Amino acid sequence: MTTPSAAVVGWPLKHSLSPRMFRLFSREAREPVHYKALAVRPEEFDGVLKEAAGGAWIGWNVTLPHKVRAMELMDALDSTAREIGAVNVVRFADGRSEGFNTDAAGFLAPLKRKRFSIAGRRVVVLGAGGAARAVCAAVTREKAGDLRILNRTAEKARALAKAVGAAAAPWTREEILAAVGGADLVVNTTSLGMEGDTNPLPAGARFKPGALAYDLVYRPRVTPFLQEASQGGAEALGGLGMLVAQAAETWRIWFGKTLPVDALDQVEADLKEIL
Ligand code: NDP
């Protein structure tokens, strides 16, 4: 049997952890796969996808800026990708492409492992980009008591809030402090903290006792958001567990096999070493 090929497809593809992560999965699952990073410009994406559907690929991870275009080009879509409005995983079979979104499941997995239940809780989401859409879909599905979305571009916060039946609030210091102070779960879905000392949380933010601060950013492992949240009394959860969980969901979609929890723990530990 020929070894299946898979890739992460994006532009630009700087420092993607996916090739390393999928090689670790391949090792842990004893399942050979050729996994590469494919830098594809937006104007080339349609053609490359069309060719891939007839080729030897098992699947792709799709990343920025192709997630919405990928959705438009799929032969079939699963219900989560349709709900979120973006595809981050493609499965190729019999000359056809099928699109999925694993970010919502990936977001929930670390919360479930912590036995943190969203049902009935007050949730604040900072940001309204692609990742926020997946997070808000998951939070709504888990029946949060209250969901509040704050984003620098107010129109995007309002549109997302309308789509998921949540409230939007302005991106001001006072509004962020007030929202955070009343929340059980605060999720940073902005890209702040990836580069340098940027932070969506104003200095001096205070959290409710028992509140959880969850940063989707995974590099650096301890972000300015998580530092500030810890100082403000919250428990901190970084984005690496989500990254591994959404990739494990990808693996299940491609190979029909669930990776064991200890294998995922091993992969997360290996990734921590290099971050
Ligand atoms: P998008 O580009 O779609 O969204 C970026 C978000 O960050 C927007 O809400 C944007 O606000 C906000 N933002 C950017 N710069 C600033 C700024 N200077 N001040 C205030 N807000 C700002 O990206 P994604 O949603 O795809 O990804 C967001 C982050 O989540 C990334 O760091 C990504 O790595 C991480 N992520 C992690 C995953 C994981 O598995 N752990 C999975 C998916 C994403 P505005 O609308 O105003 O531009």
Only one residue has tokens 């992969």, namely 267
In angstroms, what is the span from residue 130 Cα to ligand 1's centroid?
7
Cα 89 to Cα 62: distance, rounded to the nearest angstrom: 6
The atom of ligand 1 lying closest to the CA of 240 is 41
Reply yes or no on whether 67 is catalytic: yes
- Tell me if 217 CB under 6 Å of ligand 1: yes
**Alpha helices per DSSP H over 54-153:** 67-73, 79-84, 103-113, 130-141
State how far Cα 7 lies from the chain centre.
17
DSSP secondary structure, 195-242, as one string: SSS--SSPTT----TT-EEEES--SSSS-HHHHHHHHTT-EEE-SHHH
DSSP-assigned letter for residue 44 = G
- Tell me if 199 CB under 6 Å of ligand 1: no
In angstroms, what is the span from residue 95 Cα to ligand 1's centroid?
33
Whether the bond into 32 is cis, omega within 30 of 0: no
Only one residue has tokens 């998921």, namely 164
- Tell me if 69 CB under 6 Å of ligand 1: no
What does the pLDDT profile of the chain (275 residues) look like in tens digits? 789 999 999 999 988 999 999 999 999 999 999 999 999 999 999 999 999 988 889 999 999 999 999 999 999 999 999 999 999 999 999 999 999 999 999 999 999 999 999 999 999 999 999 999 999 999 999 999 999 999 999 999 999 999 999 999 999 999 999 999 999 999 999 999 998 889 999 999 999 999 999 999 999 999 999 999 999 999 999 999 999 999 999 999 999 999 999 999 999 999 999 88
In angstroms, what is the span from residue 136 Cα to ligand 1's centroid?
14
Strands 5-10 and 34-39: parallel
- Tell me if 131 CB under 6 Å of ligand 1: yes
Please state whether the predicted TM-score (pTM) of the whole model is above 0.85.
yes
Catalytic residue (one of 50, 67, 143, 272)? 67
